[in-house]
Homo-oligomer: A and B are copies of this chain.
Amino acid sequence: MPTPTRTSLDDIVAAARALLESDGLAGLTMQAVASHVGVRAPSLYKHVGDRDDLIRLVSEATVADLGNRMAAIGSSGSGSTDTGSNDTSSANIAELAREFRRFAHEMPAGYHLVFAPGPHAACPSAESLATAVAPLLAAATALAGPGHALDAARTLTAWANGFLSMELSGSFNLGGDVNHAWEYGLASIIAAISAE
């Protein structure tokens, strides 16, 4: 083994994620990634299938990161059984939503890749996405009851996703304090899905 692996898949994905944030999806080129990990572009094809495959790996890594952070928040509030009080459920779900927003602010391009991919784009796997959002679904179940849990979770994630999508792309060009709008919307949504 004369050239015993000069780079690794982890390095490649890490470099790709950094490039995605700094230069956008268009800046995530095979040549730029290769240069960052110290090899030439053709060498990358020993580690990933092609560019779309690399982008999918970036997406999976990003959603895994999010999942870990959501799980940390989700378990912090309640070591409890099925039915907590409505107050703690509301507080918990609000914390989860805020962590979601923090994550989007920290890596906007990665967030966008995962949660607002185009109609033709490759999404992260259903499992990893489900895992990432599991704490939120649990909190929604506690709040809305098992009968409306899925609808409630979808309503909350749809709102949060749409809000962040517009915030990150700068579509909130009418005036007003965006943080205030976030908290207003969050309170509205939680009240709406709590109401039986």
Contact = CB atoms under 8 A, between A and B. Distances in A.
Interface of A: 24-26, 108-109, 112, 115-121, 123, 126, 129-130, 148, 150-151, 154-155, 157-163, 165-166, 168-176, 180-181, 184-185, 188-189, 191-193, 195
A123 B171 CA distance: 8
Contact of A165 (B25, B130, B165, B180): B165
Contacts of A129: 171, 173
Given A191-B192, A191-B195, A192-B192, A185 B155 contact: yes
Nearest to A185: B155
Contact of A119 (B112, B126, B159, B184): B112
Contact of A118 (B24, B119, B126, B160): B24
A25 B121 CA distance: 10
